[in-house]
Amino acid sequence: MQGSTIDPAKTALNYHHNSEATVEAHGVEHHDFRIQGLIVFLIAEGMIFVGLFTAYLAFRAVAPSWPPEGTPKLELLLPGINTLILISSSFVIHNADTAIKKNDVAGLRTWFAATALMGAIFLGGQIYEYTHLEFGLSTNLFASTFYVLTGFHGLHVLLGLGAMIAVLWRSLKPGHYSSEHHFGVEAAEIYWHFVDIVWIILFTILYLI
Amino acid sequence: MTQVELQEKANLPAHGEQPKVTHWREYFSFSTDHKVIGIQYLVTTFIFYLIGGVLATAVRTELATPESDFVAPDVYNSLFTVHATVMIFLWIVPAGTGGFGNYLVPLLIGARDMAFPRLNAIAFWIIPPAGLLLLSSFLVGAPGAGWTSYPPLSVVSGKPGEAIWILSVLILGTSSILAAINFLVTIWKMRTPGMGWNQMPLFCWAMLATSALALIATPVLAGALILLSFDLLVGTSFFNPTGGGDPIVYQHLFWFYSHPAVYIMILPFFGMISEILPVHARKPIFGYKAIAYSSLAISFLGLIVWAHHMFTSGTPAWLRMFFMITTMVIAVPTGIKVFSWLATIWGGKLRLNSAMLFAMGFISMFVIGGISGVMVAAVPFDIHVHDTYFVVAHLHYVLFGGSVFGIYAGFYHWFPKMTGRMLNETWGKVHFVLMLVGFNMAFLPMHKLGLEGMNRRIASYDPKFTTLNVICTVGAYILAVSTIPFIVNACWSWIAGPKAPDNPWQGLTLEWMTTSPPPPENFEKDPVLATGPYDYGMGDRRTQVEVPLDEPRNPVLAAGPDSVLRADPDPAVAAHPDDRQGESHNR
C-alpha cells in the first residue's frame, strides 16, 4: 500500500498496489505509475492556464489602450509580498520531501504545516487585495480577466492547501508515510511547485508588463 | 508451424483451468476492469448515437420541404445543435477512445489493466449524467447556437440551455482528459516485456497520438468555456464587442480544441483499420513505421491549423496563407496512411466479411471526405462554400463515413473477442449495404447543394433545392433503418450466437492470444511475443526464426525477413526479457 487509504482487498479488481496477494497470484509485482499520471495531469492543467493567458494577451493585443482608460492602477506592494511568500513556500515544502526520505515524519509535518500556513497567508492576502480593489468583476475587460485569472489560480492554491491538510491528516497514522512510501507527499509537493510556477507567469503578465 | 500456431503456442496457459468470465452484473456496476468499462462506453455511447440519430432524422424531415413546417425555426436550431453535440461529445469521441481504446489497449500491449483502473471508471461514469444533463435542456429551452456556441449569439440568446450546454461539455471534456492521462501512462509504462515502441500494435500508436491531442487541446476548450460562462451568467464581456471584448478570441480558443477534436475522432479508427486490414487480407501491414509515425505527425499538425475554420472571420491574409498551407500539409501523413492501407490489401487474400467491408467502406468514404477537406482548405474555395452544405457534406464524410464506419468495422472485428459469440455475417452485410447506400444518398447531394449556395443551419430554403433535399432525406431514412439489422444482430448474437473460438480471424496481436471473452485479468502471465503483430504469411520463409517455446518462455521476436518489425540479431533485443525493456518498462 502506497499512500492510499483504500483497502485493495475491498476493490475486487484493483491490481495496482503491491499487496502480497497479487504478487503471489501472478508472480509479478505491479508497479505504481501515479507520479507519471500526476505529471501528465499537470500538463493538462497547465494547458487551461495557457488558454486563459493566451486569451488575456489577445484581448490586450487588440485593445486600443491597456488597461482600458479609467482603470485604477494596481498596487504592487501586497501582491509582491504575496509572491515572495509563495515562491519561498516552494523551498519550504521541498524540506518535507527531504525529511520523509529520512523517515522523519515529525519533520514532514512541520514543513507541510509551514507550507500550508504560507499558502493560507497568500490566499488571505489575495482576498484582502480583492476587497480593496476599486474595480469589480464586470467593470471592464481588464478587470474581468484579472479576477478570472487570479481567482482560478487562487482555486488551485486552495486545492493545494486541501492536499496538504490531507497529507497531514494521514501522517497522523503511524507508518503511513515512510522513506519508501510517500506518494502523497511527493504529489502535493509537485503540485505546489506547479501552482507556484503558474503564479510567477501570471504575476508577470498581469502586474509587471 | 504457421505464425498463428506459433503465437498461440507461445501463450498457452501454464495449466488448463477454465478462466472465469466476467459476470453480466459487472456491466451494471462500478467495475474497474478495463474490458467492462470499454463495453460500458460502447453501449452507452451507442444509445446516445441513436438519440443523436433521431434528432438528425427530425432535422432531415424538416428539410424535406422548402418551407419550415415540421418544427418551429427555434426548435430546428436546437435540433441541429443538440444533434451535433451528442454525436461529437457523446458518441464518436467516447466510443473511439473510451470504448475501443479501453477495451483494446491493455489487451494489445499485453497488460492486465489500465494504469489507473479507478480513474478509468470515474472517466466513464461521469459521461451518462453529462449526457442526460445535455438532453434535459429540452425541458427548459435547448441551446440553439450550433455546437460551436459562438458568442455573441450564444450569449444574447440567453437561454438556460446554453449554460447547460457549457456545463455538460465541460464534464465531458474532463472525462476525455482523465481517459487521456490513463492511456498515455498505460502505453508508456505497461507494455509486456519485449514489446518495444516499434513492436507495438498500430492501434496503440494511434491512441498515443489521440491521447496527446486530447491532453493538450481539451483544457484550452475548458478555458474558453469558463470565460463564456462568465459572459453568460455573470455579465462580463470577454466576447462581447460592446463591452470591449472580442468574439474572435473565442473562435480561436474554441477551434484550438475543436480542430484537433476531429483528429481525436478519427485517429483511433485509423488505428483500428490498421489492425483489421492485415488480419483479413492475410498480409503484413505495409509501412508499419510510416503508419505509426504519421499518427504523431497528424496530431502535431492538427494543433497548428485551427484558424482554417475562421477564413471568413476577418483573419488577415498572411495568417490565412499560413493556415491554408499547414492544413494542406496534413493530407501528406493522411495520404501515407491511405496508401499504406491500399498497399496492404493489394494482392492480399481478402476475406470479405462484415468487418473487412466496413473497413474498406471506411477508407473509401474517408478519402472522399479528405479530398473535399483539401478543397475547403484552400482560402478562395472556402470563402465560396463557407457555411453552406458543402461543409456539411465534407464533415459528414469524414465523421460519419470515417468514424462511424470505423466504429462498425471495429465492432464486427472484435465482437467475438468481447462477447465470446460470433455475429451473423449475412445480417452484417445487409447492414453494410443499407448503410453505404443510405449514407451516400444522404450526403453526396449535399456537395452540389453547397456549391449552389444552400446555407447550413437554416430551416427553410429556396424551392429550387427541393429535389436534392428530398433525396438526402430519403437517404437519411435508409441510414436510420440500416441500424435495425445491426441492433437485432448484435443483441441476438450476444445472447444466442454461435460460440466464438479464441482466435476466429487467426490474428497475431495479443488480444487473440487469450480466451474469448478474456478472463478478468486478461493474461495469466505477461504474454510472449512469438511474432511481430502483422507477420501474416511469413511462416514459410527460410529465415523464419525458430522460437523456443518451453519454459522459461523467453520472448523472442520471430518476425519475417521483410517485416519492418524484424528483429536484427541485436543483443538489446534478443537478450533476457528483463534486460530488454530499457527505460520504457521499469520492472
Which residue from B minimizes the CA distance to A36? Answer: B185
Q: What is the pLDDT of residues B72-81, one digit of tens each?
A: 999 999 999 9
Q: How much of chain B, in percent, has pLDDT values that exceed 70?
A: 90
Gap from B31 CA to chain A (nearest CA, Å): 8
Gap between the terminal Cα atoms of chain A: 48
pLDDT digits (tens, 9 = 90+) for A127-185: 999 999 988 888 889 999 999 999 999 999 999 999 999 999 999 988 899 888 899 99
Concatenating the DSSP letter of every residue in B325-367 gives: HHHHHTHHHHHHHHHHHHHHHTT------HHHHHHHHHHHHHH
Strands (E), B457-529: none
Residues B294 and B312 sit within 8 Å (Cβ to Cβ):
no
Instruction: For the beta carbon of residue B297, count every other beta carbon within 10 angstroms.
Output: 17
Gap between the Cα atoms of B137 and B166, Å rounded = 11
ω into residue B19 within 30 of 0, thus cis? no
**Most confidently modeled range among B228-232, B526-530, B537-541:** B228-232
pLDDT(B95) > 90: yes
User: Is B237 within 8 Å of A34 when comparing Cβ atoms?
Assistant: no
- pLDDT for the residue numbered A3: 37
- Grid cell of B329 as nine digits: 500539409
**A5, A33, A45, A53, best to mutate vs chain B, most B CBs in 10 Å:** A33
The grid coordinates of residue A70 equal 479609467
The span from the CA of B113 to the CA of A14, in Å, is 9
| Residues of A with Cβ-Cβ distance to B188 under 8 angstroms | 36
The predicted complex's ipTM stands at 0.86
CA dist B70 and A126 (Å) reads: 55
Structural element, H or E, at residue B269? helix B247-281
Residue B282 has pLDDT above 70, yes or no: yes
Contact list in B for residue A35 (CB cut-off 8 A) is none
The residues, any chain, with a CB within 8 Å of residue B129's CB and separated by 6 or more, are B171
CA-closest candidate to residue A182, choices A110, A95, A103: A103
* Pairwise CA distance, residues A13 & B22, whole Å: 11
Measured in angstroms, the CA of B406 and the nearest CA of chain A are apart by: 28
Averaged pLDDT for residues B129-152: 94
State how far the Cα of B360 lies from the Cα of B376, in Å rounded to an integer: 25
**Cell numbers of B36, please?**
467492462
Q: What is the pLDDT of residue B546?
A: 52
Hey, which residues does B499 pair with through a beta bridge? B421
Least confident of B151-160, B321-330, B404-413, B417-426: B151-160
Contacts 24+ apart (CB under 8 A), B462-466: B462/B66, B463/B66, B465/B66, B466/B65, B466/B66
Residues of chain A below pLDDT 70: 1-30
Give the pLDDT confidence score for residue B17 in this predicted structure. 59
